[in-house]
Structure 1
Amino acid sequence: MVPDIEKPVWFRLLNVWRQRRRRGLTLPFLVGAVLREQGKSVGSRSDILQLLDEIDSQEDDQKIIMFGWCADLKMPILHMEFAEHAFYSELFEPTDEFFVVEKSLGRYLNIPDHDKSKLLEAMFDYAEQLVEEGRFSIKRAEGKYKFVRFDEDDMKLIDSC
């Protein structure tokens, strides 16, 4: 098993977020973190696809990546859980050993069969324009959530991972 410190930044961020007992991170945030490590401030379709492929192919015998829906943000999110946790079948749909989807995500995205490729494509659709514009972070202002460029706190979080 590869130690967490040697895992990619997106994995380390999800793990830190889990340790803080936070709900999850958006795909644009995770793509932005990867791009930041590469010295880039905007991304493209291929950056999103590359990250989704990496997430889909990651293997860790202790942690799994969960795809879910944040009702507050009205946006798909990703979060991490320990693999040994028992999941309630009425809430989660495991599509394979490391790809687990909250059933609510399929309902919100109108993908009732939890088809993995359709879910990944929907996640991509939510992220594409934001990544191309370099708006990776979501902030609340005037009672609304809005995607903006990384601020100092975001950069500190990413750099600390």
Structure 2
Amino acid sequence: MIELKFYKSSLKALKLLLLASPFIAFSLFDIVNHANTMPLWFAWFSLCFFGLAIPVALFHLFDRRPQIIINELGIFDRMAYKEMVNWELVQDAYRADIHGQKFICIVLDEKAIPLLKGNKNLKNLSKAMGFQEVNLSLGQLKKSDQEKIEWLIINLMNADPLKRKQLMLDN
């Protein structure tokens, strides 16, 4: 069985690390040298806040597990769901952009929705924001992968089960 695996972008993790570094350095300089360019409490807050970017960026940088797996049977998002969503359950899919973060919202058959595990309150909040029960976050993927995933989902959900393999090979 053919599987297309999509991984987190190392470049985005490095970008996060590099963008947070000047703020961390400036905060450390202010704390150590008592430069008083900002209040001491604010320097510590800034150090803690931007310092959180280091473990997050390192996790994304060294996490080599696939985030999204697409095959002939369905789609699996490791970050959101523990089970594969079969193509037969997918009725529609659309892209949503929230403050520059891209998502693929997958509309499922009404009979399949109760089978999904998860927090009911979060699902209701998700619906209120215009999302669906299954939402694939594309924010940590490469831009070319984001477009490829969107194309694959739209075409595979409407394709004949016998033609899905060929669609995946063509891509």
* TM-score normalised per structure 2: 0.22
Higher helix share: 2
Which of these two proteins has the greater Rg computed from alpha carbons?
2
TM-score norm. by structure 1 comes to 0.23
